[in-house]
Amino acid sequence: MGEISVDRQHLDHLLADPASTHEHPYQRAYSELAATHRGRPPAEIVPLLRAAADRTLLGFTLADLVDQAEAISSGAPYELRVRVTGL
């Protein structure tokens, strides 16, 4: 399980929100990778997750990205604990 803190003003960078102007939230990128990269080596998936995290300005650690890549590769569920800040 991963954990990330996100300012409430940037929650749309993480989660899809139809009212947002942010075009490609991390949730969408993760879902797309999960649909297309199952069974691929985690080392191939990590750079794609890093690029998505960088585009969305989210500060995932390398360990988080590796855990996510392993979940995508194996098809296992991935649980992310989100702490919303700036309330």
Q: What is the pLDDT of residue 34?
A: 96
Q: Is the full-model pTM beyond 0.85? A: yes
**Containing H/E element for 7?**
strand 2-7
Whole-number Å distance between alpha carbons of 9 and 7: 5
* Residue 73: predicted pLDDT: 98
Confidence of residue 21 (pLDDT cuts 50, 70, 90): confident
pLDDT of amino acid 61: 93
Whose tokens are 């990205």? That residue is 65
Give the residues across from 3 on adjacent strands.
Answer: 81
* pLDDT (tens digit per residue) in 37-85: 999 999 999 999 999 999 999 999 999 999 999 999 999 999 999 999 9
Considering only CA atoms, which of 82, 25, 33, 34 is closest in space to residue 56?
25
pLDDT of residue 53: 95
